[in-house]
Amino acid sequence: MSKVKITLPDGTVKDVDQGTTPLDIALSIGAGLARQTVAARLDDCQVDATTPIQQDSSLQLITLNTPEGLEIYRHSSAHLMAHAVKELFGNDVQVTIGPAIEDGFYYDFFCETHTFSPDDFELIEKKMAELASADLPIVREVMKRDDAIALFRGMGEDYKVELIQDLEVEEVSLYRQGSFVDLCRGPHIPSTKMLKAFKLTSVAGAYWRGSEDNAMLQRLYATAFPDKKELKKYLARLEEARKRDHRKLGRELDLFSFSDEAGAGLVIWHPKGAMLRTLLENFEREEHLKRGYELVVGPQILRTELWQKSGHFDNYRENMYFTEVDGQSYGVKPMNCLAHMLIYKSKRRSYRDLPQRYFELGMVHRHEKSGVLHGLLRVRGFTQDDAHILCTPEQLDGEIKGVLKFIQDVMGVFGFEYELELSTRPDKSIGSEEDWGRATAALQSALDDTGLPYDINEGDGAFYGPKIDIKIKDALDRKWQCATIQCDFTLPERFDLTYIGSDGEKHRPVMLHRVILGAIERFVGVLIEHYAGNFPLWIAPVQAKVLNVTDNQAAYAQQVCDQLRQQGVRVQADLRNEKLGFKIREAQMEKVPYMLVIGDKEMDAGTLSPRHRSGETLDPVNPAEFAAFVKEECRQYR
């Protein structure tokens, strides 16, 4: 039998028989490694662990303890779930697609006779466990395209037929496990026996291929881990996330609501929620003014010709709303940059005037599909803490670093760690290769100089320029996209923005588009979940509640409330004829930082007794002392 040379990542070369599999090689190294091997990378291509090796190759084993291995494990778990659903519901169900996603996987099904619900989860999980314990080999098969179409058509799997028909290939790969067969590129784990810990988590609707014009499918979400201990730990975190869900807390804390009468994706802010976002906006204004930004305000609608000129009409039109006034077409702004450029262009600029930093808390609207709307995190109308910096090319590096420092300072206030990502030119874009190259190099150079680690996200830049995206990590270690810095040489060209240089000639400025918190609505949603509704004192909508013990202290309690309000404390009085314990519990449920108890003793002494929402009690103080205490605690955050 012929021999082939296999080169391992550490440089070791193994001479093995032709037809040896990666799993064989793993076993020759150690049984433990073989148990952990889910697939392999052969000459830098992912393959199944059972793939026969026919020629000299480099080989890297993919194991469960790697992100790549876990993704393959979860993809195989998606097939297991689809197999179980088919076993349980038979030909009433058609399978579509089932990818691995962050923290788990999903599979979309078409079924007209049964609506999946959490009541089905235990049944499906039990069948998955049966199939896993059956130790079914997961076998790859290559089939001619037309034969595969005939196979799936005969099985009544219309969605698989459509997928294959859209592929411009001669052959496709299928994966079989027992009675189940699925169209898939792979790779997959060698056997169902490897799948030991999985859990269905939720069910949702999803349009086929994401289009509202197509059929509505049923999406089963699930997760899987190599062992039950990891699964248990994840489920505990998931339960904590449910408790922190900003939609649930938003209702309980009376912060905001949505109404079908108003329209999907449009937030209605209640008094406490409006106070919270106002505090954030005031904080933003102060921080921007400290850094040399100027406040501006642009109109909500601008003529469609302007959006055509900017490239938004051709590249972003499906996300925009349009209206007509006096026979003239207008676009409702999805971004604030156009008005800012018009402000810059309103008069002659010298290099001595630059940089110009325009900041606007601008309300924008974007046409998001109904299926992706999600509380405050994905809405159709929102406010961006938007700024545009117009500067000379020589100032660009310093301005990018200034924004990075700004982001660092602000995220520190909220206690967020974050990661950075540099996104490059997408397929759908405007501008020259030269300008894109200059913009990308400027962002990358600034990142390199700061020494901050970052990843490259190929092809995910804005249509007018590359960007640095900042992903913050909350208390549950989840990542949220908020801040961004976009470098743009193209729109200044399209709008003929110029400045007079030191040589007396006209030059083209560079524009940075940037947000710090991002959408205020989204950031509030993240904050609610990060703090579980227990906002720091400085942004708590209600900082304290005055609670009287009996009606005898009601007048004094109201007087204390008025005094504190005059001294800038956000305070409410609860003077109901209820037991003190009941009022304290209610205030704790509302997550009010301080409860100020007033009985006869406090009334006689002209004091109040503060109690923190954690249950800690403080020494009695007079109203002026408590107001000073609140100001000092707030100052420490800022």
pLDDT in tens, 430-474: 889 999 999 999 999 999 999 989 999 999 898 889 999 999 998
| Domain 68-244, CATH | 3.30.980.10
Q: At what angle do helices 271-290 and 520-531 cross, to 10 degrees?
A: 110
pLDDT, one tens digit per residue, over 70-95 is 999 999 999 999 999 999 998 899 99
Q: Crossing angle of helices 158-165/145-154, nearest 10°?
A: 160
Does residue 467 have an active-site annotation? yes
Same fold flag, 256-298+333-531 and 537-637: no
pLDDT of 428: 87
Q: Looking up tokens 């979309």, which residue turns up? A: 108
pLDDT above 70 for 588 = yes
Task: Determine whether 349 is an active site residue.
Answer: no
Is the separation of the CB atoms in 592 and 543 below 8 Å?
yes
pLDDT score recorded for residue 493: 92
User: Any idea where the domains of the chain sit in the sequence?
Assistant: 3-63, 68-244, 256-298+333-531, 537-637
| pLDDT of res. 463 | 87
Q: For residue range 367-387, what is the model confidence (pLDDT) as tens digits?
A: 998 878 899 999 999 999 999
Single out the catalytic residue among 513, 545, 583, 591: 513
Please state the separation of Cα 510 from the chain's center in Å. Answer: 29
pLDDT value for 102: 86
Q: Does residue 160 have a pLDDT over 90?
A: yes
With bands split at pLDDT 50, 70 and 90, how would you rate the model's confidence at 1? low
Q: Which of 427, 324, 297, 316 is nearest to 366 (CA)?
A: 316
pLDDT digits (tens, 9 = 90+) for 593-615: 999 999 999 999 999 999 999 99
- 548, 575 contact by CB (below 8 A): yes
Q: How confident is the model at residue 419 (pLDDT cuts 50, 70, 90)?
A: very high
Q: What is the pLDDT of residue 638?
A: 64
Could you give the angle at which helices 67-89 and 121-133 cross, rounded to 10 degrees?
110
Amino acid at site 224: A
Catalytically annotated residue among 386, 435, 474, 574: 386
Rounded CA separation 486/307 (Å): 19
Separation of alpha carbons 42 and 355, rounded Å: 52
- CATH code of the domain occupying 3-63: 3.10.20.30
- Alpha-carbon distance of 273 to 250, in angstroms, equals 8
103 alpha carbon, distance to own chain's centre: 13
Reported as a single tens digit per residue, the pLDDT across 298-357 is: 999 999 999 999 989 998 899 999 999 999 999 999 999 999 999 999 999 999 999 999
**Residue of 467, 514, 522, 530 marked catalytic:** 467
Q: List the alpha helices (DSSP H) in 37-90.
A: 67-89
DSSP assignment of 177-200 equals: ETTEEEE------SBGGG--EEEE
Cβ atoms of residues 368 and 265 within 8 Å? yes
Annotated catalytic, 386?
yes
Q: What is the pLDDT of residue 138?
A: 97
Domain 256-298+333-531 part of CATH 3.30.930.10 = yes
What is the C-alpha R_g of the chain? 30
Annotated catalytic, 388? yes
Best CA proximity match to 74, nearest among 116, 26, 107, 118: 107
376: helix, strand or coil: coil
Residues 6+ apart with CB under 8 A from 293: 357, 358, 359, 387
Per CATH, the number for 537-637 is: 3.40.50.800
Interval 99-105 mean pLDDT: 93
In the set 36, 94, 356, 384, the catalytic residue is: 384
Active-site residue, from 199, 357, 366, 613 = 366
270 labelled catalytic: no
- Known catalytic residue at 384: yes
pTM of the entire predicted model: 0.82
Does the annotation mark 243 as catalytic?
A: no
Coil, strand or helix: which one is 220? strand
Q: Average model confidence (pLDDT) for the chain?
A: 94
Task: Select which of 127, 312, 337, 357 is catalytic.
Answer: 337
3-state secondary structure of 266: coil
